[in-house]
Structure 1
C-alpha cells in the first residue's frame, strides 16, 4: 500500500514506546509525510505473550506509534482509545491491549505485517505510516556491569535488560542481521530527514543502529539526521545516565554515524562545553530548546518539540548556547 502524498518534509522517525510516541506527536504537527520505524524486541506484557504464543512480531510499540499518528477527529480519537484499551479480568485476557489483538488478527488474515499495519493506519486516519524495524522478532542481549563490583554479566531479553540493576555496557541483537522490510529501506531512500530518539536508549533507540541493512541505508541516504536527547530522570536500562553518557554510548555502538542536529533541553545538559564537543564529534550542531512540559516532569511537550524540529529542519538554529 503506497503512502499518499502530503505536505511537509518526508521524515523517518526511529524508536519505540513512549519516546517514539512523543516525537511522532510533535512531527505530525508539521508534516503528514511521516514513516515511523519501530523496534520489535519487546518480550514482556501483552506483546510478549502474543509473541510467544502466536510467533508474531511484538505489536505493542507498533500500536503506540499508530495511536500517536491517529486523525485528530472524533473518529480517530475513538479508535485511538479502542486501540489503547486494556482488558481487566481474572483470566487469560487480563492486560491484553485491544490494539495488539487487532493488529495480530490482521497479520493472520493478510499474512503480511506491513499490509496489516497499513490497514490499521487507514482505520485510524493516521498521518503517516508505521513499519517494523525488522520482519522477524529480535532479541536484545546486553553486557551489564553489576553495581558494587566490576563483574560484567550477559542479560538476554528486553524485559530482563530493563529490570537488571547495574550499568549497561553494550547491547547486541539476535539475529544480528535481521531482514528489514523493503518499505523501510525505500522510506530512508526518499527521506528529507531522519529523526532518532528520544526513548529508552538501549532498548528503543540504539537497536536501530545495530541492524546492518538500516545502517547501510542511512549511509547512502541523502536525508539529514536529527538526534533528540532524553529528559531526566530517565527510566529503564541506563537509568541514571546523563545525556553525555548517552552520546558516548551512541558513539560506541555506531562510531561512524553522523548527525546534523542534536536537540536537547537545557535542563538535561550538565556540561555545555562537553556537550558542544560531543555534538561536534558527531558532525552536527547543538540545538538547545525547552521541550519539556511546563510542570517540570520528564515528558516532552508536543508543541515545544515540534517548534524545535521546525527550527532544526529549516536551519534556524538560533542561539545554541555559549561556547
Structure 2
C-alpha cells in the first residue's frame, strides 16, 4: 500500500493516451503524459510541414485530458479541442494546435507545453517523447491483392495507420532519435509506468524505438503496466491479444512487464494470452473496463478502478 498518491508516467498518443489519462487523473494528480511525435496527418501534418515543428495534435489531446477540474480548466480544454470551420487556410485546424505552434516560435517545446498546461490548470505534465519530429516506416505484408505475399515499405503515420495490409514491423526515421530528457527522467522517477492503450504500431510501440526512453522503460524500478485495447482494429485488425504482446516483444526484446490489463471481451477471444503475458514476466489482470455502449472504448471510471487495484489504492 502507498501512503500518498502514486506518480505515474503514461506513454502513448491520440485517443488511447487520452483514455488512460482520463482514468489515471481520477486516482492521482502526479501524472506525466509522454506523447509520440510521429503524426503527419490532418492539422498536425500541415503545421509540421509548414513550420518544421513537432506535430502538436496528440500533445494537445493529452493536455485537454488533464485539464483542471474547474470552470477555467474545462473551458480552455474545450477551446483547445475546437476547430476552425470553412475551407480557407485555417479550415480544419484545431485552435490548440495553432496556440502550441505559436508558443513554439518563442519557446522550446517543453516550455511551451508547460505554459499551456498552466493555462488549463492541468493536473499533470505533458511531454513529447523526442524533441525532433519523427516519421514512421513500416514493413507491410499484402498491400497489393495481386502480390499478397510481398512485403511493401510504407512510410508515414497516417498511411501506416490506414494500411490494408498486415504490419510486420515499424521503424522510426531518423533511426535512434534522441529522447526528451524530461521524458526519460519522468519514467525513471515514476512509481508506475503505463504503456497503452492506443494504436499499437503508431502510438504504443514507437516509445520503445527511442533508445534512451526504451532504456528507461526497461530499467525503471517502477511497476510497468501494459493496457491492451478493447479489441483489435485498424492497423492490428485480426491480431489476437497474445500477438499484440508478442509484437511488442519483437520490437523490444529486453522489455519486461509487471501487469497486463485486458478487458474481458479481449481475453475471451484468446485463451493463450496468459502464456504470452508470463513470457514477459508479468501477471494478467482481466477486468470489465469497456464502455457500455458497445464501442471499443475504455470506460474512464472502470479503467480507473482497475488501475487503482493494480496500484494497491
Instruction: Tell me which interval the TM-score lies in, with the shorter structure as reference length.
Output: over 0.9
Deviations along 1:242-281, one digit per CA (max 9) or x if unpaired, are: 2222112111111110110000001112455411111100
TM-score for the superposition, normalised by structure 2? 0.95
Task: Quote how far apart the aligned CAs of 1:309 are.
Answer: 0.5
How much is the aligned-residue C-alpha RMSD, in angstroms?
A: 1.5
Among candidates 49, 54, 57, match of residue 54 of structure 2: 57
**SS at the partner of 1:269?**
helix
Equivalence map 1:173-322=2 (5 Å) = 173-235=172-234, 237-270=235-268, 273-314=271-312
1:37 aligns with 2:23: no
**Deviation >6 Å, runs of 4+:** none
d(CA) in 2 for partners of 1:232 and 1:273? 15
* Alpha-carbon shift at residue 224 of structure 1 (Å): 1.1
1:4 is matched with: none
Work out whether 1:113 is the aligned partner of 2:109.
yes
Unaligned runs of 5+ in 1: 1-6, 316-323
Q: CA deviation at 1:238?
A: 1.9
In structure 2, distance between residues paired with 1:293 and 1:220: 34
Which of 85, 90, 105 matches 1:88? 85
Count of equivalent residues: 308
Deviations 1:77-108 (A, max 9, x none): 11011000001112111100000000011111
> Greater shift after overlay, 72-81 or 211-220?
211-220
Corresponding residue number in structure 1 for 2:126:
130
Residues of 1 paired with 2:236 and 2:270: CA distance? 21
For 1:5-84, what aligned pairs fall within 5 Å after superposition?
A: 8-84=5-81
Deviation at 1:185, TM superposition (A): 1.4
Contact conserved, 2:179 with 2:211, CA < 8 A, in 1? Answer: no
